[in-house]
Structure 1
Amino acid sequence: MVRAAVSSLLFWFVLLFAAAAPAQEAERVRISGSNTLARALVPTVAQAWLRDIGYRDIQVRKPRAALTEIHATRDGQPLVVEIAASDSALGFADLVEGRAQIAMMARRPNAAEIDAGWQLGDLASQDQEFVVALDGVAVVVNRANPIARLDLEQLRALFSGRSRDWRELGAAAGEVHLHLDANAGAVRDLMNDKVMRGAAFGEAQMHSDARALIAAVAADPFAVGLVPIGESYGQGARPVAVSDGGRAIAPTRADVLSEDYPLSRRLYLYGGQMMGALSRSFALYSMGRGGQRAVARAGHVAVTLVPGRERALTLGPLEYRQMVERAVRLPLSLRFNFAGSGEAAVAASVYDSRAVRDLDRLRSFMRLPPNRGRSVLVVGFADASAGSPMASMMMSNDRADLVAQELVSRGIKVQVARGMGTALAVAGARDPLARYRNERVEVWLL
């Protein structure tokens, strides 16, 4: 009888203790910054990451408008991925102050931010800078509009309302009709950064989405609008080529992925040199095959190495056009790290962080069964800041040789490595990043 009473008391004591014990504290991966990444890209990648590393019971919660939480468990251990939406500057500040393990940014840190975050380490290194996706804007006009190219100043005049008649831009007379997507915040952000430069957008007809905007442009020969890269233009609208002081470039897949097209940008994740295991795992996953599939599902441009179709070139030196005549351009431009204005820092590698990853992607791509035994062409370009034409040609040859040696060391056969000097510049001298953008190396598949 006494034993039964004691057992009963022990049972109730254990029950009460269990009820009073606090729930197990969940480990957290805190990610903060750009709303462009926070809206869909990072939540989509985070859910894919959690599934692929074995987490279950994945739930998406919104404690408040600017915060997304993704809850999951593995082997009874809870994990929460916090994604706080604000802007690139606040995300970087959170990383510096330790409020986040990862910063989401639609640009590289500026000089002041680099100074403030000196303790984070080398933020231009491939170990801390992760190019997770690309973003871009296409300028679309009616197919009846003869305008084939516009430069950034003309775009600023158009979308600020200063240019009110197409005749000012070389087309037939007609009042310019601006069209904007009311929900395309990323489009406005990119235009403000690269084109508007403080100018306000002019009066425009607003649409609920890109499809409605394209339909309106297709119905109006005097219309011009902005849509995200990747939207279908349909039968009645088409994109125009854009010039930033260099050659005019259309938003083709290859030119967007190579970042030669002026109205494109990288979307970054940044971490400190002492990133935790889970946050580093997430950042690395975001650039792998599973992460990039999630990037595409979220509506952004994945950084992949799928070549486009062969097409004839009409620009550039004759030697260049003859050399690549039977080759297919791979969708990348390998770029380099420089010290100086506009650059985040100098990484341990001579290549920038994306180029380091692209070299590895190239090795994997060339090992695929359809590509075994094939070779590549390597073409280097220089910036006019090298000085004389001879110096620019030498610089471009040096860059091509450097990449060729890198590829050969990875088991890739290089048939030709050649420099083209300052030919086919993609940026003008007034661009503070002209050297960074112009000094690049193309790879062509034979």
Structure 2
Amino acid sequence: MQVTETQKEGLKRAYELMLTAQELDDKVMEKLKEAQPDVEMKGFRKGKVPLPMLKKQFGDRVMGETMQESIDEAMAKHFEESGDRPAMQPKIEMIDGENWKQGDDVKISVAYEALPEIPDADLKAIKLEKMVVKAGDDEVTEALEGLAEQAQDFEPRKKGSKAKDGDQIVFDFVGRVDGEAFEGGAAEDYPLVLGSGSFIPGFEEQLVGVKAEEEKDVTVTFPEEYQAEALAGKEAVFSCTIKEVKEPKKAEIDDELAKKFGAEDLASLKGQVAERLEAEYAGAARAVMKRALLDALDKNVSFELPPSLVEAEAEQIAHQLWHEEHPEVHDHNHGEIEVSDEAKKLAERRVKLGLLLAEMGQKAEVEVTDAEMTQAIMNQARQYPGQERQFFEFVQQNQQMQQQLRAPIFEDKVVDYAFELTEISEKEVSKDDLQKAVEALDEE
């Protein structure tokens, strides 16, 4: 196949590929000869069907396959010899394809943007500051109080007391739609914490103020997107019989609380809480330091960006921002979204850093292991209780989904590699200082 360069301007590349009619016919006949021994056709013994008849019967399909294979081979050879890496899928078109007929030469136009040469980042010249926060007594006490609330129990209120928000009621109920009870709409001795949002909107609010031994009808409308289609959007009346009204009682912060959370005693629990808090602080501090690293790379490394990648990223950012401003729109049935200068600037940064980190990772031979991928899939699968296996199988069969899970793991490993080469100094700060630094990340 002949390859002729028609454009080389900046990162833009264009070529014309030509496969002569004779070359194409030879390749088709070669394929038919390979298949001939296994072909059976009425009137002929297996493997004895004449090539002209095979060509008449299967020629068009084989020709299509041959053209595609020839183009793929030519492109693979071109990228290997030129060293080009396309930024996006090359645009491939058949020249004068509508008028092409068998016996004509095949002419193909190929256009793409090449990835730029990316210079090495001088990581050793980058200085970073790592914020260190120690878990103080106040923070540990606050966390323990949170655990005590989680472990709270409920004790009966004085007879005749009205249920308040946060109280637990124990009750029987039967739900009916159009006067008929429905499956899953009844229970006995059900414990419900008012204000917990456990039931559909509007249900719990109507039970605030009830007393033990009281009967009350609660009328609600199921959401339009309710999981049970037969109930979605329907009005239901729940006949409720209140058996008990209980008030919350926070657990004491003592050894018994510690044992509820798997610790030997309160001192051990305090140590575990401090470790967990400091791990959380370290994670937040890493995010701040990562932003500082990316800022330094963005400032210190410069190279030409593929316009197609920047444009695609800017459109995606603009689309995301538009939906954040219009949360009521859940589909893509909306007009064209204008790409702002802010979206373009952010897109340039993302594309630049994405290409740079990818190059750094490749040169450092950073890889995402199978174990890391499996862990990432399992973490995502937990968001679909009862369907973990189906989600796992879906990811295994979906290359795009695998890439979405692999990308952040790869990026974090490249960032960790960069941290090892940069100059990092530690600075002990307060929790509030760290919090302000984290909040500043969202403002930029």
User: Quick check: TM above 0.5?
Assistant: no
Q: Give the TM-score category using the shorter length.
A: under 0.3
| Structure ID, larger Rg | 2
User: Normalising by the residue count of structure 1, what TM-score does the alignment of the two structures yield?
Assistant: 0.19
User: Normalising by the residue count of structure 2, what TM-score does the alignment of the two structures yield?
Assistant: 0.19
